[in-house]
Structure 1
């Protein structure tokens, strides 16, 4: 694949902190990719995420669908989201990025930010919407915007549909892998790093499918119970950052160090928090059969090679967590309505088809699932380019 179309580094005039925007590719003149905020965020990190967004969009290309994939992009701000000045910094970043958001970059929540916070900052920065660049591509802008707003208002058992859509996709990816290996759900154990938007929703869907969630990790440490955690109780006891109030734990629940989730006795590990969580050193502790990348770039490439050599399958982020982005566009473009059951059914069908295609390609080519995903993207990119061009 080619170098990014555009990279931009912004320096805040008040604090000296930096923010980044990388546009990897445009399709129909527009690109899509969330905005993250974390201390230590770098341009290289954002560039890798932008390339991943190009892949996620291409993987969901369906020439029969209303949603036509966009290009890939990503934004990042080097700041702890819990810093007292974080929100004001976010507003200043968005003011600086206003011409790009207005013209071609559609964005939304990512690590460290919630969509509510992004929406509030977008309004304060003088923008119409974080996704306004896509509006000219819609057949009926008013109806599309109303449909998405209605979808964001839907809640299922106390959690918004916008949070649940991505977790549904991650969970379905794990379930598809278990099905291909003829592993029954009952008795299959899961450990999840991160109980925020993606990790929390994934834990709910997997628990409701019959798997046993034996460990979850948040910023305070790991909560474990070999007999299974009460996922719904933990979800109800978490704060806006995904940190669980320990007073909600049951007597049989144990508090362990923060990295204990890695070595949990589980078939499935779901890193759903930070990037680069699994490296060449700590991968040795993993005994799980599958790692399902709910977070972006949680497994370092060298670690993935070592894991593959000892039979651990990594289901890559570019497929696994692509359901969140796709759900936004399926809803906005009208492939689905603002209904939870319809959204979950469409997500499950689409994600299962992608996982099955990727794993079948990996088996046929004798490669890893990530390499297979890259091969599928390589097949689709020229088709998209031929239909829509590189920039228009």
Structure 2
């Protein structure tokens, strides 16, 4: 793989905390990718995430759409989100990265940060918007900003459309794989790590499709019920970080250790919380037939190879969780309106088509879905570069 276009390391002058920005590629002079905040975040991690964003953008390339995929980038801060000094670190990081945000890095929430926190910190850092770099590419900047703001203000069943778009995409990716394998939705069991932004919405859509959510892990441990958890009750009882109030559990719900979600008796496993959580030390505990990466980089390559050898299909993050990013741009560029039904219908169609294309290529070439996705990206990037140039 070629080196990224730009790699920046930063040290907070107040706390000594480290932060990073990696721009993997520019398209039309702009790159897209969120900002994560977690204890232990590294430059290597951010570099991998930035490469993943290049892939997610390229996989959604449609020459007929208003939204033209951007380049890939990612930001990261080595600080626990719950640290009392975390917000100050975030604001100072954004001030330091201000020239990049203004010119070519569009970003939003990621692991450890909510969009509300990002927007507040962006304003305090003196920036116009976390996506202001893309404004020169818009035909009608004010109409586009209103459309995105209106879309973010929409809530369905107490969850914002921004959260729902990502979870809908993960769910549709999983459902496409089930349908192609002839696996009925009713009776298929799901175990998730994480009930936050991505995991919570994914759980809602999978349960709505008839699947049975039998285990959910959060910061306090795993909640399990072989007969099925009440997903909506758990969503209503979670805090801003996705931790469920145990007072909302039913008598038949069990509390298990945090790692129990991994070995739950379920056909579908959804890591939706942290990176690198499935490795060679624990992959043998997985009993699922499908692993759907709602989080970024949750399955290490060596573990994925072992899972594939056991007949376990891993739907990669660059496909499964790509709707969150794409929804932003579909909305901002005007491919979809600020309307929940139409937006989610667009997500479903797009994710069904993309996942199907990846699975078809994997089957035809005898490779994993990840390898097939990488091959599709390799096909599409030259077309994007030929049309728009590599850096301009």
Decide: shared fold, TM above 0.5: yes
Question: For the residues of structure 1 that align with 2:363 and 2:73, how far apart are their CA atoms?
Answer: 30
Aligned to 1:149: 149
Q: CA deviation at 1:70?
A: 0.2
1:135-214 alignment runs, 5 A limit:
135-214=135-214
Aligned to 2:275: 275
Q: What are the Cα deviations for residues 336-380 of structure 1, in whole angstroms up to 9, with x where unaligned?
A: 000110111000000010110000000111100000000000000
* 3-state secondary structure, aligned to 2:298: coil
Aligned to 1:311: 311
Which consecutive segments of 4 or more residues in structure 1 shift more than 2 A?
A: none
Aligned to 1:40: 40
Question: For the residues of structure 1 that align with 2:81 and 2:4, how far apart are their CA atoms?
Answer: 27
Structure 1 portions without partners, runs of 5+: none
Q: What are the Cα deviations for residues 201-252 of structure 1, in whole angstroms up to 9, with x where unaligned?
A: 0000000010000000000000000000000000000000000000000000
1:227-376 alignment runs, 5 A limit:
227-376=227-376
Q: CA deviation at 1:2?
A: 2.0
Aligned to 2:61: 61
> Is 1:9 aligned to residue 19 of structure 2?
no
Aligned to 1:125: 125
* 3-state secondary structure, aligned to 1:326: helix
Question: For the residues of structure 2 that align with 1:154 and 1:344, how far apart are their CA atoms?
Answer: 12
Question: For the residues of structure 2 that align with 1:3 and 1:382, how far apart are their CA atoms?
Answer: 17
* 3-state secondary structure, aligned to 1:232: helix
> Is 1:216 aligned to residue 216 of structure 2?
yes
Q: What are the Cα deviations for residues 42-68 of structure 1, in whole angstroms up to 9, with x where unaligned?
A: 000000000000000000000000000
Q: What are the Cα deviations for residues 316-336 of structure 1, in whole angstroms up to 9, with x where unaligned?
A: 000000000000000000000
Aligned to 2:115: 115
* 3-state secondary structure, aligned to 1:117: helix
Aligned-residue RMSD, C-alpha:
0.4
Q: What are the Cα deviations for residues 270-306 of structure 1, in whole angstroms up to 9, with x where unaligned?
A: 0000000000011000010000000000000000000
Aligned to 1:386: 386
Question: For the residues of structure 2 that align with 1:357 and 1:369, how far apart are their CA atoms?
Answer: 10
TM-score of the aligned structures, taking structure 1 as reference length: 1.00
Aligned to 2:19: 19
Question: For the residues of structure 2 that align with 1:305 and 1:112, how far apart are their CA atoms?
Answer: 29
Q: CA deviation at 1:3?
A: 1.2
Q: What are the Cα deviations for residues 69-126 of structure 1, in whole angstroms up to 9, with x where unaligned?
A: 0000000000000000000000000000000000000000000000000000000000
Question: For the residues of structure 2 that align with 1:388 and 1:266, how far apart are their CA atoms?
Answer: 45
* 3-state secondary structure, aligned to 2:37: strand
Aligned to 2:86: 86
* 3-state secondary structure, aligned to 1:259: helix
Question: For the residues of structure 2 that align with 1:183 and 1:162, how far apart are their CA atoms?
Answer: 29
